[in-house]
Structure 1
């Protein structure tokens, strides 16, 4: 395993922690974990999309059978909780929520009390373990609010803690790794977000957000390796090192994620930086996510210049994931992350930082960071100018930026300009005129998508240990 230098030093003997924390697996090695998983997986097929159980349905289970399964969930949580004293209050609230769900006849679940009692960001200690049980959907995974159980660990090496404290303040960010999980996470989901939990009302504010860096890193390594081999990319030695080393990749992703996440709330922004409550054309979402990644890239360039060990690796990770995985992952319906990857490639290509010649992709490793930062500057300028523009004018300006590098669909109404749209409608109605695939894949990416289809599919449910759920 590669020794990871602290970003605060250039080449001394200071190292970060392992990123996976203490060895072993207290929760998953305990007999109660297998009981908990089995009981949760027994309950899941009985639940409707909203998490409730309809006992009037033709194939509904007997109430006594459901009660028995829920009793096993409760007992397992109570047996496992002493292993995790930092989660005692959460587990006590969880048992009450489970019992209330049962007492209420398994109607739409409400786990607000236990959600408010769970505070993983309050104690970010490297290797700290958590047992999480909630009825929830999993982003990019299961869309239904099923009961799920996840055993995980916090990744918080000292060098990352120091950067967060002194430079990239992000008190809500919790990087995590899987120990084991129920089927909702045997998917492409790589996040644990409180807003996915079934509750009676949304909290006034969320106090944490978890990202599984082991899944991100494993997926990144698999797809990037396949893309590099397919495209014949000649890699620098340190880029090869990153693709070969799961531990190094995980620590790279926690730094990328930490800076990206905080960037949503920094810079020239609208009042709702995450755009959660706004209905906008999907290229606006794509530009916001790309802006956060390119800002992270710019910071990584600074870190490298200052002698911080992880800066170079973060640059590689952003380039490879954005160029190789994002454009060809998922369907083409409003794929805003895919759009951001397409835009980055086209921008680098048109500025001679990448060239596709003789069936090989050549990357100018000195020019690529300069051009990437240049694109970041153009997006930042778009945002600054947008402060003085009406919403619809801003959307058209953003469209002009994107369409300057990516060809719109020939049937696009938006591509024809304002005169082709009914400007008497409110802006949110004009979003209906946006095509599902407003900026189709280029011929380069159409060919690459076919080459990478199988390896991308194989990363479903992947962890640091490979594909499929972690063995208990």
Structure 2
């Protein structure tokens, strides 16, 4: 690795300032994998004192110079994947995180419950940001996945970062309002009373459960990521993981009971209440997932709407189990049918429960949540 010598190592604030200055005139995203562009970026970083003394910058510069031959960000990811480094740096290209380009973050990790880590292992890193460049500030960027780097790859040991402070901010800013305005006043008592520190724990449990369940079932990720890229199928996958996480938190006696109970409520309100109001003009895939959940629960007797509020019925968790069973039955077809046939079955299942605009070939917000969005100004 090329050793870059400078007088001192920059502080996090100085790194952020330098990265923000460079990213401001970085150039078009279409050039992000062009060797000439990457060479210019490497030289600019190398010349930017005191960035060159930062180990992850050194690794990043070396990867940029070798990208034309190797097509990988191996050295950079080795540091990103080391939890003790406490830093993330990369050149990112993800359509669902358009604010990300050249970006840096420093973070602190959150403690992990040993029983959760042992029973539901995954390369998930729940963190709280310390310093971050402009791209990471954007509201939609609540996570970072290995394939978001320009090499577009994900290895089994690559860390998946979730920015818990942003998830909790969303909860406090939007979900809490929805709980008060449209939920049964007696429902989810634990999440209503939770402190910020307790919400941090609950959100950490959520993302660990979520990533673990992505890797379970007949069509796990990342193996079947290629087959689940559409809004409908991505939404079903997100919902499958969250419902599985809720059910595990309620039923697994190995888990710390208080934390698991709070996590189950937290997942429920985020998935059932907040995601349906996300997306300014058209629902995103998470909102589509929550449309499926809401309609499935309503039609199958898991929830009732009374005076504009959502009430959970006694059969709520039984209905969730039936949802998981139906999706699992469809995905099990992958062993005997081509992937296109299973995709069609999953899409047909999803479209039974969503508001799909055939003319626009996209989804609409459901009337119930459209009215909520308008009334509450979300």
Q: Normalising by structure 2, what TM-score?
A: 0.81
Do residues 340 (structure 1) and 289 (structure 2) align? yes
Give yes or no for the alignment of 1:237 onto 2:189. yes
Contact between 1:261 and 1:292, CA under 8 Å: does it hold in 2? yes
Normalized per residue, the structure richer in helix is 2
Structure 1 match to 2:116: 163
The CA distance in 1 between the partners of 2:228 and 2:121, in whole Å, is: 29
Measured after TM superposition, the shift of residue 209 of structure 1 is: 1.5
For the pair 1:299 / 2:248, whether they are aligned, the reply is yes
Is 1:444 the equivalent of 2:368? yes
Residue 356 of structure 1 deviates from its aligned partner by 1.9
1:130 matched to 2:82? The reply is no
- The alpha carbon displacement at 1:205 in A equals 5.7
- From 89, 104, 128, the equivalent of 1:149 is 104
Match of 2:346 among 384, 395, 398: 398
| Secondary structure of the corresponding residue to residue 179 of structure 1 | strand
Alignment match of 1:93 (pick from 49, 59, 62): 59
Alignment partners' CA distance in 1, 2:58 and 2:222? 35
1:193-212 maps to which residues of 2 (within 5 A)?
193-199=145-151, 202=153, 207-212=158-163
- Aligned residue number for residue 264 of structure 1: 214
**Cα gap change, 1:451 to 1:118, in 2 (>3 Å):** farther
> Given the superposition, is the C-alpha separation of residues 196 and 386 from structure 1 closer, same or farther in structure 2, using an over 3 Å criterion?
closer
The equivalent of 1:363 in structure 2 is 312
Which of residues 47, 53, 59 is equivalent to 1:71? 47
Shift in Å, 1:197: 2.0
Distance 2:325 2:276 in 1: 22
Count of aligned residue pairs for this structure pair: 361
The secondary structure found in structure 1 opposite 2:304 is: strand
Unaligned runs of 5+ in 1: 1-29, 54-62, 82-87, 413-433, 455-472
What aligned pairs does 1:308-319 form with structure 2 within 5 A after superposition?
308-319=257-268
SS at match of 1:239: helix
Aligned residue number for residue 41 of structure 1: 20
1:46-80 residue CA offsets vs partner (Å, 9 max, x unmatched): 11233869xxxxxxxxx9xx9777533x51462xx
Q: For the Cα contact (< 8 Å) 1:130–1:153, is it kept in 2?
A: yes
Which has more radius of gyration? 1
Q: Secondary structure at the match of 1:269?
A: coil
Relative to structure 1, the CA distance from residue 115 to residue 394 in structure 2 (aligned partners, 3 Å threshold; closer, same or farther) is same
Q: Report the alpha carbon displacement of residue 215 of structure 1 after superposing the two structures with TM.
A: 1.1
For the Cα contact (< 8 Å) 2:303–2:312, is it kept in 1? yes
Instruction: Give 2:199's match in structure 1, choosing from 241, 246, 249.
Output: 249
RMSD: 3.5
- Unaligned runs of 5+ residues in structure 2 are 1-8, 33-39
Per the normalisation by structure 1, the TM-score is: 0.66
- Flag the 1:408–1:45 CA change in 2: closer, same or farther, 3 A: closer
Q: Describe the superposition over 1:394-444 as per-residue Cα deviations: whole angstroms up to 9, x where unpaired.
A: 3343244334444544x47xxxxxxxxxxxxxxxxxxxxx9122xx33221
1:214 match: secondary structure = helix
Quick one: structure 1 residues 324 and 185, their matched pair in 2 at CA, closer, same or farther if it must change by over 3 Å?
same
Choose 291-300 or 310-319, whichever is displaced more: 310-319
| Cross-structure match for 2:4 | none
2:329 corresponds to which of 375, 381, 405:
381
Q: CA deviation at 1:376?
A: 1.6
Do the aligned partners of 2:178 and 2:273 also contact (CA within 8 Å) in 1?
A: yes
Q: Per the alignment, do residues 133 and 389 of structure 1 end up closer, same or farther by CA in structure 2, a change over 3 Å counting? A: closer
| Partner SS, residue 29 of structure 2 | coil
Work out whether residues 93 and 148 of structure 2, in 8 Å CA contact, stay in contact via their aligned partners in 1.
yes
Change (3 A) 1:262 1:203: closer
Per chain length, whose mean CA-contact separation is higher, i.e. which structure has more relative contact order (CA < 8 Å, sep 6+)? 1
1:17 aligns with: none
Q: Decide whether aligned partners of structure 1 residues 278 and 303 sit closer, same or farther in structure 2, where only a CA change above 3 A counts.
A: closer
Match of 2:144 among 184, 192, 195: 192
